[in-house]
Structure 1
Amino acid sequence: MPIKYKIVEKAEPGVAGGGVKKWYATAINDGELAIDDLVSQIEKFSALSEADIRGVIIALENVIQEGLANGKIIRLDKLGSFYPSLSSGSSPTQEDFTSSLIKGAKVNYRPGKRINDALKTTTFKKAN
């Protein structure tokens, strides 16, 4: 199934007044897969029950949360990895920097090779 897209006009970033506007493709999400959907699809490829699969997914979520909160990279082999990153203000010197300058943390995801390869072979279809 192809990834659907639409064309949007965007201004040049960092240019006063927007600069020369150009047209770019942007992906249109075609629905979503919620936990219930994932569980029923995984159930087709596994001997595990629905309750077991749901339990593993919830446990994985808990382990990922704890690991990220402790600054760990979570590597899920071919699925990819999750890792924390920070956003902060600056200080004039290293000695003046304090944790109060840290504005927040976020989670980054780096897909594994198989996921990247799947996107390399996908097709595209312009939405009507």
Structure 2
Amino acid sequence: MKIQNDARYAKSDEWVRVEGGVAVVGVSDYAQGKLGDVVFVGDISVGSTLKAGDLLTSVESVKAASDVYTPVSGKVLEVNHEVTAKPELLNSDAFGAGWLAKIELSNPDELNGLMSATDYAEYRKE
């Protein structure tokens, strides 16, 4: 299981990396590994305003379907259309090309409620 030290993690297995006040959100390597081969990533609406815990999108694999929730509140500024066209990017590069959305943070303090890389590694220790 790969874990990025510069990201924060939700218990529901999403990651957030802040780049210049914008939260980049994706699915953790642990989650994509449990899903198996991802075959579909649902659309995300640019401009939508979400609260932490809201449904961001859904992901389907050969094994199961899973909902992905936003770990932070804010306005969706950008969506990674490449991952909707090539859902396998979630499997091959969950922290890079497999990111899902960029969200303008409306409450940066929410990041404090997410796990550090060390805490997430402990949480997902198998």
State the TM-score, normalized to the length of structure 1. Answer: 0.22
TM-score (norm 2): 0.22
Structure (1 or 2) with the greater helix fraction: 1
The structure showing larger relative contact order (alpha-carbon pairs under 8 Å, at least 6 residues apart) is 2
- In our comparison, the structure showing a higher alpha carbon Rg is 1
